[in-house]
Copies of this chain bind each other. A is one copy, B any other.
Amino acid sequence: MIAKRQKRRSTCPINASLEVVGDRWSLLIVRDLMFAGARAYKDFLSSEEGIATNILASRLVKLQESGIVTSERDPQDGRGVIYRLTAKGVELAPVLLELSRWGTRFEEGEPPGGILQAWETNPQAFLAEIRKQLLDVPRSTG
């Protein structure tokens, strides 16, 4: 909902994207939300890459300010916070998938089972499936 936009270095859309998600951690958080079922703070901390808690906290704030992530208190456990991708966040899927494809081809990352093949075979269908999975979630009724 918030959309704090500071002065841009340029009007190039690639640059615009990089100013929002162009760092070593933001897209890993989006990845965890999109493909690893992460919802809670501790889920991100337990990721293989080992993000520091202060970095995680500051990135989650930035991602919310950018309208990529939302948060709400966990109705089942008042201590917990549940993080979710917004529609804007979900639409980062193609970026993540192309990064994954490139990494697999040139940087010897372990190919994620099946996902990339599905993406390469039918991007449209795959995107539709991801949107459905991540956006048609039952929300707390307030």
Q: Which residues of A contact B (CB under 8 A)?
A: 9-20, 22-24, 27-28, 31, 47-50, 67, 88, 91-92, 94-96, 98-112
Contacts and interface: CB of A to CB of B under 8 A. Distances in A.
Given A23-B22, A24-B22, A98-B98, A88 B103 contact: no
Given A24-B23, A103-B17, A10 B48 contact: yes
A14 B21 CA distance: 13
A49 B100 contact: no
Would you call the interface of chain A mostly helix, strand, loop, or mixed? helix
Given A22-B22, A24-B23, A106-B91, A99 B17 contact: yes
Contact of A24 (B19, B27, B109): B19
